[in-house]
Amino acid sequence: MSRVAVLVAGRLLHFELAVACEIFGRPLVDGPDGWYEVQLCGPASARVGPFVVEPQVGLEGLVGADVVVVPALADVGDVPSGEVIEALRAAHAAGARVVSLCTGAFVLGAAGLLDGRRVTTHWAHARELGERFGGAVVDADVLYTDNGSVLTSAGKAAAVDVCLHVVQRDFGASVANAVARRLVVPPHRLGGQAQFVTSPVPGRAGDALAPVLEWALSRLDRPLSVVDMAREANMSSRHLARRFRAVTGQTPMRWLLVQRVRRAQELLEATDLSVVAVAVATGLGTATTLRRQFKAVVGVAPDAYRRAFRHRE
């Protein structure tokens, strides 16, 4: 069982704290064994929006945790105490993955954990983050970043995305998608998607793009082009591209590729299909193409992904 230590110190925003507790603190019904154990760790009571939260254990609870989550600060001008900084450094040095949600990145910056890393935070605070912590490479145009042992996310909904990303790393895409369904949110978005899009949740009621998204998802095993999707949507290709960018933050073909890879993840986890058969079933054609595109999107080869997640119960 992995231990998740959630840092509660100073003044925090309640949404991001709740996200961490909801995703990591509630195991799925009939889900995998070895779910997370969550502890609130801090030096004293913390102000969280209109509430006061008492930590379960002190800052010593950060050291030895597998994951340390740093929720959003209510005021980025607040400077974390020396004991908080030292506890974060010690936890990271001991091997914890440290995850900041939204403006929690400023706490990581104060601890020196952003130096030399590509990081993000809410777009409204990205410039200040870069100015205060010049050793960090701040990217205001992504939802979250994963540097292995240090992960950062943008605002609000992106906190959900990065937490689901951690679940996917630990338990696979099927489990992460099951958590998303429980939360009634879309499957987790890739970190490289844009922060600021007109409609961050595709397929909402009344959106003219929803039917073509569903249509394309039901035909992932077939060749599909922008012209095909535009014809189905009764739009010009140019207008379709604009709608895709507004709704998903991606081009139509990039969105389609990501959906094909997500489907490949599910098949690798849940079936014994060969890599060749998975490539055909997802419309990627050949094993070579599947391996190249899968590694580009997921970061590992299909065979390694299957070994990691195929036999999880």
For position 4, what pLDDT does the model report?
Answer: 98
Question: Domains of the chain: which residue ranges?
Answer: 3-183, 203-313
Backbone φ and ψ for 274, nearest 5 degrees, come out as -70, 165
Closest Cα partner for 167 from 185, 156, 179?
179
Q: Which superfamily does CATH assign the domain made up of 203-313 to?
A: Homeodomain-like (1.10.10.60)
Ramachandran class of 99: left when φ > 0, alpha when ψ lies in -120 to 50, beta otherwise: beta
Q: Is the pTM of this model over 0.75?
A: no
For position 9, what pLDDT does the model report?
Answer: 96
CATH 3.40.50.880 fits 3-183, yes or no: yes
The rounded Cα 34 to chain-centroid distance in angstroms is 20
Helix, strand, or coil here: 6?
Answer: strand
For position 201, what pLDDT does the model report?
Answer: 38
Q: To which residue do tokens 């040095």 refer? A: 93
Catalytic positions: 102
Closest Cα partner for 43 from 102, 85, 92, 1?
85
- Per run of 10 residues, the mean pLDDT along the chain (length 313 residues) is 94 95 93 93 94 96 97 95 97 97 97 95 93 93 90 91 93 88 73 45 53 91 94 92 81 91 89 94 95 86 83 50
For position 196, what pLDDT does the model report?
Answer: 43
For position 48, what pLDDT does the model report?
Answer: 94
Contact assessment for residue 65 and residue 7, using Cβ atoms and an 8 Å cutoff = no
Closest Cα partner for 154 from 146, 144, 145, 164?
144
For position 270, what pLDDT does the model report?
Answer: 85
